[in-house]
Amino acid sequence: MDRTRFAIDTASLAGSLSEKLGAAADAGFTRVALRAKDLVGEQSGGLDGAVQCLHDSRLAVCGFEALRDFEGLAGRFLDYKIDIAKSMLRMMQQAGADLLLVSSSTSPQASGEPEVIAQHLRLLATLATPLGIRIGYEPLAWGRHVSDYQAAWRAVKLADRENVGLVLDSFHLFARGLPLDDMYRIPMDKLFLVQLSDAMCDYVPALDEMVEISLHHRFFPGEGEHSVALLEMVGRLEAAGYRGAYAFEVANDDYQQCPPALVARRAAQSVDWLVGKLTGGASH
Amino acid sequence: MSDAAFSQDNPMGTDGIEFVEFAALDPVKLGRDFEAMGFAKVAKHRSKNVFLYRQGDINFIVNAEPNSFAQQYARSRGTSLCAVALRVRDATLATCRARELGAWEVQTETGVMELRIPAFQGVGGSLIYLVDRYRDHSIYDVDFLPLEAPAVCEAGIEGIAELVQAVSPGRVKEWLDFYVHLFGFRELAESGPRSHRVVSACGKVRLRLEEAGETEGLRVVRLCAGDLDACAATLAERGVRLGEVLHSDASAPRVLHTLPESGGISFELCSTRDEGAADHG
C-alpha cells in the first residue's frame, strides 16, 4: 500500500502553520488535511503568507475543514452560512485545496427534510463547480438529523451531483456502533476522503462523552483500542476499491502540548504500522 | 421569440445569447480582426472604452477599459472570451432563482445612470450575465452611443452556433450538472467520450464541453453562415486566414481564425443548415 495515501490533519499538531507543515513534511508526509483556522491564524503575512507557506512546503491538501451546520437552514441564517461557505471556497482556491468538508448539521434550527438537505448540498455543489472544488459531506455522530453513514449516503445520493460525495471519519463511525457492512457497498468513487483515529475506549459512549472524546482524546491508528477495527475497516475499503486518501484526524490534548515534530513522527509510525499490517495481511 | 422562453420547462426563461464579451491585450487589433470577419463597429459605451461589434444576430463586446474585469482577465490569460450574456425573460426573477440554487453572484462596477447587469461566476473566472432588455429596448440604448454608419460589409455570418468550453480532465460531468441544475440546460446526444454537448431550454444556446488541459475556459466560438462557401470566399478575399475542415462530423466546420496571442480563442465557421441537422442526429 502506497504510503503517500496517508495524510495528517493539521488539527493533530500544535504550533504555527509553518511549524505544523514542516513537522509533517519532515516525518515523510506528502499531504495534509487543512483547517481554515490554520490559514487565517498564521502569524506572519496573513492569508497570503499562509498560502505561500503552504506552497513552499510542497504538501498537497487532501481536505479543507470545515463548513459546519450548513444544511437545513433558512432565511437570513442560510444567507449568512452561504457567505461563510463562499469565504472558505475562496480560501481553498488560493490554497489549491479541492475538497471542502461539510459536517452534518447539529443546529436546532436546521430542517431534517431529506429534500432540503439535498437541495443545500446541491447549492454548495453549484457554488463550488466554477472553482473546481468538490463537496464532502461528513456525518457527525452527534449530527441532529444526519448522524451515520447511511443517512449521509442517502443525502448524497439524493443530491445527485458529481462533485458531492462522502467523507467518513472512523471515530464517528465507531461511535455510533452501527454495522459497517453497507458502507463497503457504497460506490467507492463517491467516498472522497476517509479520516482515521484510534480511541482509548472500545464502547459506544453517551453523547456528551462522545463529543469530549472526539475533541480531546483521539489517538493515531494502532495506539488505542480501535486498532483491530481500523485495520479491518481499511482492509475492506481497499478491497471494495477505495483509492482515495486516509487522513489522520487526531485531536488530542496531550499532543497539543508536545512539539509537532514528535507528534508527526508518531503519526508516521502509525502509517508504518498500518501499511505493514495491511501488506502482511495481503500476503497470506 | 419562441414560446419555449415562457414555458415551465424553461425555469430561467433563457432566450439565447445577447452578447459575448472579449478581453484583449490589444483591443484595437481584436477590433480589426472582427471587422475583417464582417462585424461592424456599431456603438461605443457612454463612459468606458468598450465597443460593440455586430453582425447578423451576433453582438461582440470588446472591453478595453483600463482596470476593468476584462482587462485583468486579459492580463492573466491573454486574448480570451471573458463573459457571456444570456437573454432571460425576467432578469430579477432569474437572478433570485440563480442565487437560491447556488450561483455565485459577482459585483460588477456600474457607472451613474448605467444599467446594473446581474453577473455570476462562470468557467475559468469568466462571467455569465443575465439580460432581459433585448426586445423593444436594448441594453445598448442605455449604456452605448451609436457610431456613424460603418463602412465594413457583413460577410454572411448569421449567428453563434455553439461555444466550446475547455474542461479539466474528469470534470465534464460536474459541468454538465452545473448547467443542467442552474440554467435548465439538457444534454444532447453524446458526440464523443471526452466531449459532451448541452443545449438551453430555449434551444438557442449550445455549449460543447471538451476535456482539455488544466486551464478551464471558453475557448472556441462556432459561428454559422447561411451560405458557408460564399461566406468563406468573402472572408478569404478580405485576408482572413481560413484553416482546414476541422471535424468529420455532420456540421463540418472550418477553422476560421485563431487569435495568435497565448491562451487565445479561436473561431469556427459552419453552415447554419448543417448545424441544425446535426442536432437531430
Q: Exposure of B20 by Cβ count < 10 A (0-12 exposed, 13-18 middle, 19+ buried)? A: buried
DSSP B249: S
**Residue range A75-85: mean pLDDT, rounded:** 96
Helix (H), strand (E), coil (C) string for A164-186: EEEEEEHHHHHHHCCCCHHHHHC
As for the ipTM of the complex, it is 0.91
Percent of chain A with pLDDT over 70: 99
pTM of the model: 0.92
B102 — contact with chain A (CB < 8 Å)?
Answer: yes
Which three three-digit cell numbers place residue B148? 456613424
pLDDT given at position B247: 57
Which amino acid is it at B201?
A
Nearest to B104 among A86, A161, A162 (CB): A86
- Tens of pLDDT, residue by residue over A168-178, are 999 999 998 89
Nearest residue of B to residue A127 by CA position? Answer: B102
pLDDT given at position B251: 55
The 10 Å CB-count burial string (b at 16+, else e) for A43-79 is: eeeeeeebbebbeebebbbbbbbbbbbbbbbeeeebe
3-class DSSP assignment, residue B203: coil
Out of A278-282, B39-43, B241-245, the most confident range is B39-43
Look at B122 and A124 and tell me if their CB atoms are within 8 Å. Answer: no
- Tens of pLDDT, residue by residue over B107-163, are 887 766 678 899 999 999 999 999 998 888 888 888 899 998 766 678 999 999 999
B185 — contact with chain A (CB < 8 Å)?
Answer: no
Nearest to A162 among B123, B173, B182 (CB): B173
Q: What is the DSSP string of B6-61?
A: GSTT-TT-EEEEEEEEEE-SSHHHHHHHHHHTT-EEEEEESSSSEEEEEETTEEEE
Q: What is the DSSP string of B164-202?
A: EEEE-TT-HHHHHHHHHHHH--EEPSP-BTTEEEEE-TT
- Tens of pLDDT, residue by residue over A10-19, are 999 999 999 9
- The H-or-E segment that residue B76 falls in is helix B69-77
Which three three-digit cell numbers place residue B245? 475542415
Mode of pairing for the β-strands spanning A198-199 and B119-121: unpaired
Q: Which residues of A touch B103 (CB under 8 A)?
A: 126-127
Q: Do the Cβ atoms of B204 and B17 come closer than 8 Å?
A: yes
Nearest to A278 by CA among A227, A223, A202, A244: A227
Q: Which residues of B touch A81 (CB under 8 A)?
A: none
Q: List, in order of start, the domains of chain A with CATH numbers.
A: 3-278 (3.20.20.150)
Q: Which residues contact A240 (CB under 8 A, 6 or more apart)?
A: A184, A185, A188
pLDDT band, very low/low/confident/very high, at A228 (cuts 50, 70, 90): very high
